[in-house]
């Protein structure tokens, strides 16, 4: 109950902030970034898995998620105007909780934000998880179809850790698979093969999807992934999530 009240108040007061984790392509250029939400509750940081889960349980994820999307679009517009994004930069990826995705007003929100911040839909990548397809499948699927038709990109987050079947992979207009970081930690310095990773990469390519590895923490992991045809990376080896200013500085230093 305390967390609920604090969360409610934090939404009212806009006490959250966003950080941005760069994503890099095989040439070492920035290909995009993932938005991650942070909250200092009266100066005490609360772990995102904790407050996101609490927000989901209380439906506060809907106003919070709306705020996150709006701020993401605002930052994107600002970066474009400032010239902080390199030519290689394609997408800003925003995590969307299944509850937020199911909100009947979700599509109108997206349309409003694209208009308000003069963004082509291709700039926005929505990270959804397999859990989004549990239960009322058709509705989620139709929504993805329509948004994808509009030009919005979809990445399947935490791939390989969810509960749904693989059949949705060929039915849905997805653009990208994100290999869950739990698999990446299995790559060790002895260069033993990691069949799951190799299979996910091939599955992605066979379906015409881009594949990104998250949680890349070492050069060995990056080299292994590159050798197995994974061409996009995100993780501490490149950069931790950064605030607005540090993010633009990082992009400038990469060039
Ligand atoms: O890196 P970029 O997003 O521009 O890559 C576009 C596509 O080109 C990727 O989806 C991938 O299939 C392919 N690609 C990217 N980097 C390499 C590379 O180093 N070697 C090969 N063979 N293909 C690549
Ligand atoms: O940010 P990492 O630092 O610890 O995030 C932990 C978990 O919280 C991840 O599963 C991540 O997807 C989730 N998370 C972080 N930021 C957001 C957000 O803006 N929206 C949603 N729905 N989840 C987020
Ligand atoms: O579930 P999702 O993929 O949205 O969450 C991304 C989470 O991974 C965030 O909590 C982010 O802070 C964290 N993260 C990003 N890079 C790394 C990394 O290299 N190692 C670890 N352990 N966590 C990472
Ligand atoms: Mn994510
Ligand atoms: Na993930």
| CA separation for the pair 234, 250 (Å, rounded) | 14
Q: What is the pTM of this model?
A: 0.94
Q: Tell me the best of 17, 19, 21, 127 to mutate to test the pocket of ligand 3, counting ligand atoms within 8 Å of each CB and taking the most.
A: 21
* Domain count for the chain: 1
| CA separation for the pair 84, 73 (Å, rounded) | 15
Torsional class of 230: left (φ above 0), alpha (ψ -120 to 50), beta (otherwise): beta
pLDDT tens for each residue of 54-78: 999 999 999 999 999 999 999 999 9
Distance 145 CA to ligand 1 centre (A): 26
pLDDT tier, 197 (very low <50, low <70, confident <90, very high otherwise): very high
**Predicted local confidence at residue 171, as pLDDT:** 86
pLDDT tens for each residue of 75-123: 999 999 999 999 999 999 999 999 999 999 999 999 999 999 999 999 9
Cβ atoms of 160 and 214 within 8 Å: the answer is no
pLDDT tier, 188 (very low <50, low <70, confident <90, very high otherwise): confident
Closest approach atom of ligand 1 to CA 90: 3
Q: Tell me the best of 14, 37, 48 to mutate to test the pocket of ligand 2, counting ligand atoms within 8 Å of each CB and taking the most.
A: 48
| CA separation for the pair 254, 87 (Å, rounded) | 12
DSSP conformation class of 200: H
Cβ atoms of 217 and 189 within 8 Å: the answer is no
Which residue shows structure tokens 């994974």?
230
At 236 the three-state DSSP class reads: coil
> In this prediction, what percent of the chain has a pLDDT beyond 90?
80
Q: Tell me the best of 181, 187, 217 to mutate to test the pocket of ligand 3, counting ligand atoms within 8 Å of each CB and taking the most.
A: 181
Region 16-31: mean pLDDT is 97
**Predicted local confidence at residue 91, as pLDDT:** 98
Which tokens sit at 168? Answer: 């949705």
Region 120-146: mean pLDDT is 91
Which tokens sit at 65? Answer: 């998620």
pLDDT tens for each residue of 220-238: 999 999 999 999 999 999 9
- What is the CATH number for 21? 3.20.20.450
Structural domain that includes position 236: 2-254
Residue 166 has pLDDT above 90, yes or no: no
DSSP conformation class of 242: B
Which tokens sit at 232? Answer: 């996009």
pLDDT tier, 126 (very low <50, low <70, confident <90, very high otherwise): very high
Ligand 3, atom 13: closest residue by C-alpha: 215
ipTM for the predicted complex comes to 0.90
| CA separation for the pair 191, 44 (Å, rounded) | 40
Ligand 2, atom 20: closest residue by C-alpha: 95
Distance 215 CA to ligand 3 centre (A): 6
**Predicted local confidence at residue 189, as pLDDT:** 66
Backbone angles phi and psi of 59, in degrees to 5: 65, 0
Which tokens sit at 183? Answer: 């698999």
At 163 the three-state DSSP class reads: coil
**Predicted local confidence at residue 1, as pLDDT:** 53
Residue 125 has pLDDT above 90, yes or no: yes
Residue 191 has pLDDT above 80, yes or no: no
Cβ atoms of 161 and 200 within 8 Å: the answer is no
Distance 12 CA to ligand 5 centre (A): 28
């Amino acid at each position: 109950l305390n967390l609920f009240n604090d969360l409610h108040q934090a939404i009212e007061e806009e006490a959250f902030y966003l950080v941005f984790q760069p994503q890099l392509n095989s040439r070492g250029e920035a290909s995009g970034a993932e938005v991650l939400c942070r909250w200092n509750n009266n100066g005490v940081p609360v772990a995102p898995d904790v407050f996101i889960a609490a927000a989901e349980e209380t439906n506060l994820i809907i106003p919070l998620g709306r705020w996150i999307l709006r701020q993401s679009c605002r930052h994107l517009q600002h970066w474009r105007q400032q010239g902080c994004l390199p030519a290689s930069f394609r997408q800003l990826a925003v995590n969307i909780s299944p509850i937020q995705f199911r909100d009947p007003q979700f599509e109108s929100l997206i349309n409003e934000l694209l208009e308000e911040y003069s963004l082509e839909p291709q700039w926005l990548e929505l990270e959804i998880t397999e859990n989004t397809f549990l239960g009322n499948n058709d509705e989620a699927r139709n929504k993805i179809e329509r948004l994808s038709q509009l030009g919005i990109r979809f990445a399947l987050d935490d791939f390989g850790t969810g509960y749904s079947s693989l059949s949705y992979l060929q039915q849905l207009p997805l653009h990208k698979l994100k290999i869950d970081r739990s698999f990446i930690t299995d790559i060790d310095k002895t260069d033993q093969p990691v069949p799951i990773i190799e299979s996910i990469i091939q599955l992605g390519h066979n379906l015409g999807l881009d594949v990104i590895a998250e949680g890349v923490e070492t050069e060995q992991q990056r080299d292994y992934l590159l050798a197995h045809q994974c061409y996009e990376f995100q993780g501490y080896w490149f950069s931790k999530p950064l605030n607005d200013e540090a993010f633009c500085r990082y992009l400038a230093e990469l060039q």
